[in-house]
Each structure stands twice: as C-alpha cells, then as structure tokens.
Amino acid sequence: MKFIPLPFAVLGCSLFLFTIEANAASQTQIDRGEYLARIGDCTGCHTTEDGQSFAGGLGIDSPFGTIYSSNITPDKQTGIGNYSRDDFAAALREGSLPDGTHLYPAMPYTAYAKVTDEDIDALYAYFMEGVEPVDNEPEKTDLSFPFNQRWGIGLWDWMFATADTYEPNPDQSEQYNRGAYLVEGLGHCGSCHTPRGLFFQQKAYGAGDDHFLTGQTLGVWYAPNLRGGGEGDQGLQGWSEKDIANYLATGRNVHSGVVGEMISVVQHSLSHLKDEDLTSIAVYLKSLPRSTEAPSDDEAPSVQDKTDENKDTSATLASAKVDIDSGERLYLDNCNACHFTNGKGASWVFPALKGNSLVVAENPDGLLHVILAGAQMPSTPKAPAKLAMPGFGWRLSDKEVADLATFVRSGWGNDGDSVTADQVAEVRKGIPEKVLRDSAPNMVKE
Ligand code: HEC
Ligand code: HEC
Ligand code: HEC
C-alpha cells in the first residue's frame, strides 16, 4: 500500500469535496430552473401535443394570424444551444434575439420582464443542462403585411412594454410580494386576464393599475376578473384564499371546475407549484381591490344578493309544475342530476352554476361551448380524476340550448342577459362535428 503524505491527502480530499460541492450547487440550480419553467409555463407554448419537450412548433392564434413557437432546447442548430446567458435574458425579458430580431409578443416577455437576474440564471442553467437537445425546425411564422414587419414590434415595445424587474413593495408582506412577483412576472396571468387596448397591448402590467386582471374574452372563453378584494361576492370575492389555491392546484374547488384555455395552465403549470407559492398567489389576488374604473367590470355581470329570487328558482324547479317554461324544463331534464335544483352543484365534483363567472359572463360563448360540447377537468397530481360533463349539442337544437342558457344565466339570482338561437348556431359552427359526437354520453356512442 502506498503512503500518501498528509498535506496531499488533505488537498486531495478538499478538491474532491469541492467538486461534489460545485456539482451539487449547479444541480440545485437546474432543479430550481425546472420549477421556474413550470411557473412560466414554457411547455404550454413550446411543446406540441405529441412533440418532444420544448422542441417548439406549437401554433398560437393571434388576431394577426398564427405564430409558431421556437425550439428552446439546447440544440445548437435548431434550438438555443448557442445562446449566452445574456442572450437568453434578452429573449426572455425584452423579446429580442442576438441577431436583432424582435419576437412577437405572443411570447410573454412583457411579463417576464419582471423576472430577477437570479431566476434568469436558474432558468438558463435548466435550459442548457437540464433539457435534452432536440433537432427540430419549427414551422416559420408567416403573417400578412404589416404584421410580418418585425421592426414594427420594436416600436410597439418602446410604446407599451413598460415593465422592469419586480421591486418588492416594502409596505406589503413577504407573501404578498411573492404572489405579486409570480402573478405579474413568470406566471404572466395578465396576458389572458387583463384587457387589451387598441394596439393589442395589455392595458396594465401590475397591481398599481386598476385595469390589471379585470378580465377579457379570449375566443369563446372568458378569462374572468381575478381581483378578489373588497366587499361582495363577485367572482373571486366570494372565494377564500384556500378556494383559490385549491382551484389552481387541481382545476376544481367547492365553487367551480376549470374549462377552456385555463385547463392547460392548471395542468402544465399551476398544479406543479408548491403550496406556499399557490397560497402567496391567492393572498395577492385577494388583496387587489375590485376596481370601479375598469370598463370590463360592467362587462362581467355580477350575482347580486337576490336571496328571494334564488329561493324562487329552486322552488319552481322543485315543484315539478307542468307549466314551467322551456328553459326550466330543459334544465330539469338535462342538468339537474348533476347541478341540482339549487344550482349549487356538489363541492369538488359538479361546479355551482349560481354565481359562476363563466355562466354570467357578458359574452355567453364559453357557456354555450360547454353545453354543446361538454367539458373535462384536467388530471392533476392532487386530483387525478378527470371528471367530465357530457355535451348536449348532439341532441338539443339551437333554440333549446338558447332557452337553457337563458335560464341558467338568470336563475338563482344570476343576472346574465338572454341568449338567442343565432348565437348558439355561431358557437356550434366553430366546434368540429367529431367533438360534438364524441362528447355525447358513452351509451349513445356506436
Ligand atoms: C404564451 C406562449 C408562450 C409562453 C408561455 C412562452 N413562450 Fe417562449 N415563445 C413563444 C413564441 C410564440 C415564440 C416565438 C415568437 C416569434 O417568433 O416572434 C417564443 C420564443 C421564445 C424564445 C426565442 C427563441 C428563438 O431563438 O427564436 C425563447 C428563448 C423563449 N421563447 C423562451 C421561453 C421560456 C424560457 C419560457 C418560459 C419561462 C417561454 N418561452 C414561455 C411563446 C411562448
Ligand atoms: C391562456 C390564458 C390564461 C392564462 C395564462 C391564465 N388564465 Fe386563469 N383563466 C383563463 C380562462 C379562460 C378562465 C375561465 C375558466 C373557466 O371558466 O372555467 C380562467 C379562470 C381562472 C380562475 C377562476 C376564476 C373564476 O371566477 O372562475 C382563476 C382563479 C384563474 N384563472 C387564475 C389564474 C392565475 C393565477 C393565472 C396565472 C398564474 C392565470 N389564471 C393564467 C385563462 C388563463
Ligand atoms: C353527468 C353530470 C353532468 C350533467 C348532466 C351536466 N353537467 Fe355541467 N358539469 C359537470 C362537470 C363534472 C363539470 C366540470 C367540468 C370541467 O370543469 O371541465 C361541469 C361543468 C359545467 C359548467 C362549467 C362550470 C365552470 O365552473 O366552468 C357549466 C356552465 C355547466 N356544467 C352547465 C351545465 C348545464 C347547463 C347542463 C345541462 C345541459 C349540465 N351542465 C349538465 C357535470 C354535469
């Protein structure tokens, strides 16, 4: 056996320890980056349904045409393998690439602008070392003039992209600041929940502005007002912090079940967050006062406390009179089994229709889509069951769906406007025949 002189042994040992230390630190950073990528929902836009993780090519609809996401794996030819840390930071926070190209704001850099240097470092470590390189050249985005003039985005950025790294508000709690950082920054909740202006710019990027998170319509879906503060029971005002955290973690809670564009957000992003982060988000949302200024507050009708009317609706439905109107009858025949005569559904399983943001939204398209094509909750780690509602488009006429929707929008104290058969026909046209057929209950499927 060879004798190692003591000083060398010590040096060898500490070198050994040092290497372990260095690797361990960077693994922690890669893991942190992976978690941050979940919060930013990078996969939601950069992975196609059957494509490899982060290889890009998902088409994102915009009012100007389809924009295809980039390959953000560390592949050197088709991905971002040649990006330095600063190139990566500029793409994320400013939407600009090393060759001077401006990204379309379909990539939410206007929100990511709030991300701290430390988090950028971790994300960079993850994308360079924790993600498999994939050789994939996504389809090129080809918008019509003038939207194909990418230099125009530079001008747009100059006018509208105003956000800077998030500065904690010293008057608020640590929890609030964490929530604000996540919602306004990486979580980019405002990209769907904040109304857009004339130039498609988000009207606000943070808590300081009354327009922030006051809701907006996205295609057929309505992304509701998320300002949960103040007195009242409009939307999140009627939800506790725990209700909000539960919804984000599982797509369901005692009031509601997720549908539409929000399904993917819950499935790919929010259901993977730590409880303390979800609670921080809830604390922040509950702190935002319901704004009176924001125009979309009128657009998002409320449920007034009309206890008497509420009783009336339930009583009429329960009385089984023969002369009830067509909407009520259709409700009893088709919906009552799950959502009940009181419209309160069953906690965690069947959403309440009374006071539901989707049901009373100014634009009824989301409601009509659910009645026609049904809905399915996502499977999440904490609530794996994919509870589903069958669609009714295969058996109810446009007129019947209109009567039904009018009834649920006005029953139990809801105050949504009535719906016409033409509106139903319009939504039906946008749903592929196969989706309507497949949404029918199992027993009628061939
Ligand atoms: C809402 C959709 C969306 C989300 C979420 C999103 N991206 Fe993107 N991203 C895009 C689109 C679309 C493009 C391409 C835009 C273009 O061609 O102008 C893009 C481009 C990029 C680019 C530029 C790459 C290149 O060279 O073309 C990088 C880097 C990037 N995204 C990283 C990320 C990271 C990291 C996350 C998560 C923190 C993320 N993106 C989340 C939609 C998204
Ligand atoms: C891609 C668009 C999109 C993004 C991004 C998004 N949401 Fe949503 N969100 C929606 C839509 C659409 C709905 C309506 C879902 C429904 O009616 O079931 C919704 C519903 C919600 C609800 C339920 C509100 C209610 O009154 O029923 C909450 C809470 C919520 N979102 C929170 C968030 C948070 C927090 C973020 C950011 C971390 C976020 N959302 C990001 C589209 C989005
Ligand atoms: C077999 C049980 C069942 C029947 C019958 C049923 N639903 Fe549902 N409904 C559900 C489930 C489960 C969900 C949650 C699905 C989700 O969140 O993706 C749901 C969701 C909804 C939603 C969306 C709620 C939200 O918070 O986003 C509306 C609106 C709705 N149902 C209305 C109706 C109407 C109107 C009828 C009658 C035409 C009906 N349902 C019949 C089970 C049912």
Give the relative orientation of helices 275-287 and 241-250 as an angle to the nearest 10 degrees.
130
What does the pLDDT read at residue 445?
Answer: 38
Ranges of each domain in the chain: 26-165, 171-295, 307-444
Cα distance between the two ends of the chain: 78
Nearest atom (ligand 1) to Cα of 141: 17
Q: Pocket of ligand 2, candidates 258, 262, 273: which has the most ligand atoms within 8 Å of its Cβ, to mutate?
A: 262
What pLDDT tens digit does each residue of the chain (446 aa) get? 344 444 444 444 444 444 444 444 489 999 999 999 999 999 999 999 889 999 999 998 877 788 899 999 999 999 999 999 999 999 999 999 999 888 988 899 999 999 999 999 999 999 999 999 999 999 888 876 666 666 666 666 666 666 789 999 999 999 999 999 999 999 999 999 998 776 667 778 888 888 899 988 887 888 999 999 987 778 899 899 999 999 999 999 988 899 888 999 999 999 999 999 999 999 999 999 987 644 444 444 444 444 445 556 777 676 655 566 888 889 988 888 888 888 887 777 788 898 888 999 999 999 999 999 999 888 888 887 778 888 999 889 999 999 999 999 998 889 899 999 999 999 999 999 888 888 877 544 33
Which residue's CA is the closest to the ligand 1 atom numbered 12?
69
CB distance 259 to ligand 3 below 6 Å: yes
Which pTM does this prediction carry?
0.82
Q: Residue 86 Cα, ligand 1 centroid: separation in angstroms?
A: 15
pLDDT at 307: 45
Summarize pLDDT for 316-358 with one digit per residue, the tens.
Answer: 676 655 566 888 889 988 888 888 888 887 777 788 898 888 9
Q: Hey, what are 250's tokens?
A: 């599982």
Domain with residues 171-295, CATH architecture: Orthogonal Bundle (1.10)
Contact 62, 297 (CB under 8 A): no
Residue 437's Cβ-count burial label (10 Å; 0-12, 13-18, 19+) is middle
CA 259 / ligand 1 centre spacing (Å): 24
Q: How far is the CA of 265 from the centre of ligand 2 (A)?
A: 8
Pocket test for ligand 1, best of 34, 45, 120 (most atoms within 8 A of CB): 45
pLDDT for 292 equals 60
Minimum-distance ligand to the CA of 43?
Answer: 1
User: Tokens at residue 22, please?
Assistant: 């260095």
**Is the distance from the beta carbon of residue 235 to the nearest atom of ligand 2 less than 6 Å?**
yes
Measure Cα distances from 85 to 42, 109, 127 in Å. 17, 16, 10
Query: How much distance in Å is there from the Cα of 350 to the middle of ligand 3?
Result: 6
Q: Which CATH number fits domain 307-444: 1.10.530.10, 3.40.50.620, 1.10.760.10, 1.10.580.10?
A: 1.10.760.10
Residue nearest to atom 14 of ligand 3 (CA): 257
The structure tokens listed for 175 are: 């929890």
Say if CB 382 and CB 376 are below 8 A apart.
no
Structure token pair of residue 287:
């702190």
Per this entry, what is the length of the chain?
Answer: 446
Taking the centre of ligand 3 as the mean of its atom positions, its distance from the CA of residue 282, in whole angstroms, is 25
Q: How far is the CA of 46 from the centre of ligand 1 (A)?
A: 7
Site residues for ligand 1, CB cut-off 6 Å: 37, 40-42, 44-46, 60, 67, 69-70, 72, 80, 91-92, 97, 103-104, 106-108, 123, 141
302 lines ligand 2 (CB under 6 A): no
Q: What is the pLDDT of residue 377?
A: 85
Q: Can you tell me whether residue 410 is helix, strand or coil?
A: helix
CA of 262 to the centre of ligand 1 (A): 19
Distance 351 CA to ligand 3 centre (A): 7
pLDDT digits (tens, 9 = 90+) for 382-414: 887 778 888 999 889 999 999 999 999 998 889
Report the distance separating Cα 86 and Cα 124, nearest Å.
9
Residue 428 corresponds to which tokens in the numbers above? Answer: 């039906």
Query: Do 307-444 and 171-295 fall under one CATH topology?
Result: yes
Ligand nearest to the CA of 221: 2
CB 112 within 8 A of CB 93: yes
Q: Kindly state the tokens that stand for 446.
A: 């061939």
- What 3-state class would DSSP assign to 266? helix
The confidence score (pLDDT) of residue 349 equals 78
* Cα 36 to averaged position of ligand 2 atoms, centre (Å): 19
DSSP 9-52: HHHHHHHHHHHHHHHHHHHHHHHHHHHHHHHHTHHHHHS-TTS-
Q: With both helix axes pointing from N to C terminus, report the angle between 365-373 and 421-429 in degrees, rounded to the nearest 10.
A: 70
